[in-house]
Amino acid sequence: MRMSKPILLLFLAAVLAAAPPAAAGDRPAYPETRRVDQVDDYHGVEVADPYRWLEDDVRTSPEVAGWVAAQNELTFSWLGTIPQRPAIQARLTELWNYERYGLPARYGGVYYYEKNDGLQNQDVLYAVDRLDGEPRVLIDPNGWSGDGTVTLGGTSFSDDGRYLAWSVAEAGSDWNRWRIRDLRSGKDLPEELAWIKWSAVSWTTDGLGFFYSRFDEPAEGAAFQQSNLNQKVCYHRLGTPQPDDSVVFEQPDHAEWTFSATVTEDGRYLVISVWKAMENNLVYVRDLARPYAMPRLLIDGWDARYGFIGNDGPLFFFRTDLGASRGRVVAVDLNRPERSAWRTLIPQNDDTLQQVGLVGNFFFANYLHHARSRVRVFNTSGEQVRDVELPGLGSVSGFGGRRLDSETFYRFSSFNAPPVIYRYDLASGKSTLFRQAETVFDPAQFVTSQVFYTSKDGTRVPMFLVHRKGLKQDGRNPVLLYAYGGFNLSMTPSFSAAKIAWMEMGGIYALANIRGGGEYGREWHEGATKLKRQNAFDDFIAAAEWLIDEQYTSRSKLAVMGGSNGGLLVGAVMTQRPELFGACLPEVGVMDMLRFHKFTAGRYWTDDFGSSDDPEQFKALLAYSPYHNIRPGTAYPPTLVTTADTDDRVVPGHSFKFTAAMQRAQEGPAPVLIRIETRAGHGGGKPTDKAIEELADEWAFLAATLGIDLPQAWKGDRASGQE
């Protein structure tokens, strides 16, 4: 929905009157933003926060709601003057309109998978008796709301396939409400489970109930901002109300700890993983065969990451980076849990171990080799059996299943290769095509390469470049440089209609695998955390300078983009090097590094960022915090900030405050605009029409600010949708 929600306030009319629509080449007339005399003392250092009031929830603050409406009115008026925008949205819609499938999973002899016909706002869950059979709709969320913002969240089937637990998320929120459906009768059970986020559902093998994690109900009006504390692992028995659920694990003395609970495939044990933040974790195990048994601490020390893979009776398998920065697989015996008795089944090698699945008595180890996927198959003794042959340079996901399965499924995609799903036969090691996307572009017209450049401190950093064939390195190409660089997450080759549209516009897409991510294991990640955070920004700046030096582009043609932690990245580099970029697109970014930990999920990020509560970390945070490093009278690049009014992960106050400070400080005509999506969150579950509209606005902004002329084929009739 492009129009902001109505605000019945008299002062809004005056604000809007002071901010008439502006032509794309003029300096916008920004709405007036009130400043307050807010100064905080951090370890003896006074720090001003003049836009503190913009942290208030848009649902409860009329003044913030009025500011949002005024900013959206300005932004959409400005974007509406861009002549290229209609053609961009039309081409994005054509490219988006292809069938997309999820990976099949089998329960009770029935296969289940999600599918989108192309332009449906939300994916639909289907059931099919045979892979080549006629699918039937199980759950279609597209009728749940008029604007497509109520979505199907998680799903979990009981082992026998009789029951399905499924969740609903509204307006992009992380909060989920869970329901249970009896698949025999097709009817939903009466109970509904609320105040659940970041939690899966794990069924007991008898199919009578499941374990999940929940929070206490937030204070009235605080669900989208209050820090989430005191999570509990609960057991829900079918047919009973949620208040009757038993609490099986909690740590009231550690309100900030969070938990996930998984029932082992044999049904004997409950594995509980415990986190303080997002880094190292503990592991508890409860013997479900003993009704009164307490959870037993199996892995202690907070010294590494431990991901549960599966078990063989009392022998438990974990993926860990303990003593292995790039990951290994270890076996831990419940009868001899001391570390001296642990056995390494799959040792560390030169590639980075991302995920491990245990299917049909094989470990499927998904590695990254310079940020691209490799999959190796091992038996349960740790002996390598084979590699999975992949179609090319790209990314792989999947390889889920159970110990008795004879098949598994995986998805492959790359920058110019739409997703392909394969069925993998465990006995023969043969992959056969299950579904292949049919899209309206020619993949052969694009090429992908990987380059390496040198960062400020001499570190060698990889970067993918994707563009049309026959590109001239004459410094005149528009480039969109993207990165993330945080939380041990790896950026790998992936397909999107938006990237294809950008490259059809003559652009180069550059993906830099900067430090802070997980591409090269723990050391690569920790090389840009806390006091070393500046390394991620230096890596990103070095990528931009390399692209200019190598004549791929010039400063006036170079745009940078990133979301969430990547939004912080863009905010940091544009305040440190404003002269380097032709346009900036920070999306749902963490912009106030002194207060991020006070809202919703923010406290989990202190492992990566540090905390302003610590004097030394405060100094490092203040040195790069985007909001605090905006300098009045500076000529900042054209900037389009994007966020959403119901983002309860990175609360929108970050983007609101950053934008207000930027607009006041900006010197010259370059626009500083903010696009605030309504009834949307951090990005998950965003309806297709909203996603296309937002990208059309971003690409149109880049077309206007970088001086991009659209392909001739976009300007006339396109019978086939292809150039």
Distance in angstroms (rounded) separating the CA atoms of residues 563 and 568: 8
pLDDT tens, position by position, 545-596: 999 999 999 999 999 999 999 999 999 999 999 999 999 999 999 999 999 9
pLDDT tens, position by position, 68-115: 999 999 999 999 999 999 999 999 999 999 999 999 999 999 999 999
- Of the candidates 402, 405, 422, the residue with the CA atom closest to the CA atom of residue 357: 402
- Of the candidates 581, 523, 575, 619, the residue with the CA atom closest to the CA atom of residue 706: 581
pLDDT tens, position by position, 433-460: 999 999 999 999 999 999 999 999 999 9
* Model confidence, pTM: 0.94
Distance in angstroms (rounded) separating the CA atoms of residues 463 and 455: 12
Give the pLDDT of residue 228.
87
Task: Catalogue the E-assigned strands of 337-438.
Answer: 343-346, 352-359, 362-369, 372-379, 384-387, 395-398, 407-414, 417-425, 431-436
Give the pLDDT of residue 678.
86
Number of residues assigned to the chain? 723
pLDDT tens, position by position, 374-399: 999 999 999 999 999 999 999 999 99
Give yes or no: 682 in active site: yes
pLDDT tens, position by position, 346-363: 999 999 999 999 999 999
Q: Are 403 and 310 in contact (CB under 8 A)?
A: yes
State the DSSP H helix or E strand holding residue 548, giving kind and residue range, or none if neither. Answer: helix 534-549
pLDDT tens, position by position, 673-716: 999 998 877 777 889 999 999 999 999 999 999 999 999 989 76
| Band of residue 219 on the pLDDT scale cut at 50, 70, 90 | confident
The two three-digit tokens of residue 403, written as one number: 């110990």
Q: Are 560 and 540 in contact (CB under 8 A)?
A: yes
The two three-digit tokens of residue 254, written as one number: 């550690």
Give the pLDDT of residue 340.
97
Rg (CA), the chain: 26
Distance in angstroms (rounded) separating the CA atoms of residues 117 and 457: 48
- Of the candidates 193, 110, 116, the residue with the CA atom closest to the CA atom of residue 151: 116
- Catalytic residue from among 199, 397, 564, 655: 564
- Catalytic residue from among 467, 525, 654, 682: 682
Q: Is the pLDDT of residue 474 over 70?
A: yes
Question: Percentages helix, strand, coil for the chain, rounded to the nearest 5?
Answer: 25, 30, 45
**Percentage of residues in the chain having pLDDT higher than 70:** 95
- Of the candidates 457, 607, 636, the residue with the CA atom closest to the CA atom of residue 539: 457
The two three-digit tokens of residue 461, written as one number: 């950093």
Lowest mean pLDDT among 88-97, 102-111, 223-232, 250-259: 223-232
Quote the distance between the C-alpha of residue 96 and its chain's center. 20
Give the pLDDT of residue 171.
85
Distance in angstroms (rounded) separating the CA atoms of residues 411 and 491: 16
Task: Catalogue the E-assigned strands of 415-570.
Answer: 417-425, 431-436, 446-454, 460-468, 479-482, 508-512, 558-563
Q: Is the pLDDT of residue 4 over 70?
A: no
| Band of residue 314 on the pLDDT scale cut at 50, 70, 90 | very high
Q: Higher pLDDT residue, 684 or 282? A: 282
Give the pLDDT of residue 716.
64
Give the pLDDT of residue 6.
33
What residue type is 632 in one-letter code?
P
Q: Are 467 and 447 in contact (CB under 8 A)?
A: yes
- Of the candidates 73, 70, 1, the residue with the CA atom closest to the CA atom of residue 31: 70
Give the pLDDT of residue 1.
36
Give the chain's mean pLDDT: 93
Distance in angstroms (rounded) separating the CA atoms of residues 509 and 448: 10
pLDDT tens, position by position, 8-42: 332 333 333 333 333 445 789 999 999 999 999 99
Q: Is the pLDDT of residue 719 over 60?
A: no
pLDDT tens, position by position, 162-218: 999 999 999 888 999 999 999 999 999 999 999 999 999 999 999 999 999 999 998
Burial degree of 494 (CB within 10 A; 0-12, 13-18, 19+) = middle
Give the pLDDT of residue 720.
36
Give yes or no: 654 in active site: no
